[in-house]
Chain A
Amino acid sequence: NAGVMQNPRHLVRRRGQEARLRCSPMKGHSHVYWYRQLPEEGLKFMVYLQKENIIDESGMPKERFSAEFPKEGPSILRIQQVVRGDSAAYFCASSPFARSTTNEKLFFGSGTQLSVL
C-alpha cells in the first residue's frame, strides 16, 4: 500500500509563473489536506478537500491560490503568478476519516519544496 505521493519533490519557478503541485492520497483515503511550511516556521493549514468538494479553505490566501480534488486523479494545489514569498515546503496529507472525528491521524507525503527565483 503506497503512502501519500507528492510530486514533484522540488519545483523551481520564476516570479510570475504558475506552480502546480500534485498529491495522490493513500489508497482508500478520500480526505486530503494541504499544509504549507515557511522557513523556520511550523506547518500552517491551507485547505481540506474531499473528492470533488472543498470543505474548508480558511487557510488559503485569498488570491492566486486554488485547490481541487477531482473524482479521478490526484489533488492539485495551484499557485498562479508566484512570488518569492511563496517559497516554502508544501505538504499534502490524507486520511480515511471525515474531519469531524476526534481521533484523526494524518499521513503525510514527502512534500514539494517550491523555490521562487
Chain B
Amino acid sequence: RKEVEQDPGPFNVPEGATVAFNCTYSNSASQSFFWYRQDCRKEPKLLMSVYSSGNEDGRFTAQLNRASQYISLLIRDSKLSDSATYLCVVNSFGNQGGKLIFGQGTELSVKP
C-alpha cells in the first residue's frame, strides 16, 4: 500500500464548478499535511497547509480527518488558472525525523 494515495484523475470540469480531491495516508504517526500544486511538471509550490480544524484560503478549503487518515481539498468557483496537478503531501515521521511524502497527484483541467 502506498503511504499517500490520491484520486487518480484527471478531473475535467467547466469554469465555475466545484471540485473535490481526496487523499488517504497510511502512517498514523504523521504530524503535518499539505497540498502542493504542480504546473506542467515544474517545481511543486505550496498551496496550503491542512489543519485538524479545517482551513480555508479564498476558494480553497482543506479538511483533515485523523481518525480516517483522510485529507481533502475543495476548490469552489474553479478558474482556468486552477488547471494543474494537485499533490497531497504528508510529513511522515520515522527514526530519522520527518520527511515529506508526496502522493502521485491528481490532475485538474478546467475548461471554458
A residues adjacent to B (C-beta < 8 A): 33, 35, 37, 41-45, 48, 55-56, 58, 89, 91, 98-106, 108-111
Q: Does the CB pair A91–B44 fall under 8 Å?
A: yes
The CA-CA distance from A48 to B95 in the complex, in Å, is 13
Determine whether the beta carbon of B97 is less than 8 Å from that of A91. no
Q: Are the CB atoms of A37 and B99 closer together than 8 Å?
A: no
Determine whether the beta carbon of B43 is less than 8 Å from that of A91. Answer: yes
In the complex, B32 has a CB within 8 A of chain A: yes
A41 and B104 contact, CB distance less than 8 A = yes
Q: Which residues of B contact A101 (CB under 8 A)?
A: 98
Would you call A108 and B99 a contact (CB within 8 A)? no
- Could you tell me if B99 and A111 are in contact, using CB atoms closer than 8 angstroms? no
A48, B46: Cβ atoms closer than 8 Å? no
Partner among A33, A45, A111 whose Cβ is within 8 Å of the Cβ of B43: A111
Hey, what's the 0/1 contact readout for B31-64 against A, CB within 8 Å counting as 1?
Answer: 1101000000111111001000000000000000
Residue from A33, A41, A103 in contact with B49 in the complex, judged by beta carbons closer than 8 Å? A103
B91 touches A102 (CB 8 A): yes
- Contact yes or no, B103 A98, CB < 8 A: no
Q: Are the CB atoms of B41 and A99 closer together than 8 Å?
A: no
